[in-house]
């Protein structure tokens, strides 16, 4: 098992919450962790590249779904936040993503073969 601490979206740093770079950057970080693990001489002998799975809790569930090929429905997020403006976890930017990186898109990783979603 490999765990990732997402820059700007972890228990000590919330600076990227509500940003496009966080939404689309998290799956890229997981893909990079998979690549690093499969390329590491100490870890790779213990990894079956054909059985890579991702466990995602909360925003990690969304990350896992993007890795599997899902595309976030940003209009639905906006509507949700209009109806529930006090949901600080999902709506700290009122359902509008801060476009800090307009070059990022949701990217699936074909190496991910299984998902476990917890409170996505």
Q: What is the pLDDT of residues 33-54, one digit of tens each?
A: 999 999 999 999 999 999 999 9
What's residue 40's pLDDT?
97
What's residue 95's pLDDT?
65
Would you say 61 and 67 are in contact if contact means Cβ atoms under 8 Å apart?
no
SS3 of 71, please? Answer: coil
**Residue length, the chain?**
120
- Residue 8's pLDDT band (boundaries 50, 70, 90)? confident
């Amino acid at each position: 098992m490999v765990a990732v601490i997402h820059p700007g979206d972890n228990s000590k740093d919330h600076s990227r919450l509500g940003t496009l770079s966080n939404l689309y950057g998290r799956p890229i970080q997981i893909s990079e962790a998979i690549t690093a693990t499969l390329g590491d001489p100490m870890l790779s002998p213990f990894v079956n590249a054909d059985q890579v799975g991702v466990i995602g809790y909360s925003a990690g569930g969304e990350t896992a779904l993007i890795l599997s090929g899902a595309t976030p429905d940003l209009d639905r997020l906006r509507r949700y936040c209009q109806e529930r403006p006090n949901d600080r976890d999902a709506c700290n930017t009122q359902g509008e993503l801060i476009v800090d990186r307009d070059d990022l898109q949701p990217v699936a990783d074909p190496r991910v073969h299984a998902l476990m979603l917890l409170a996505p």
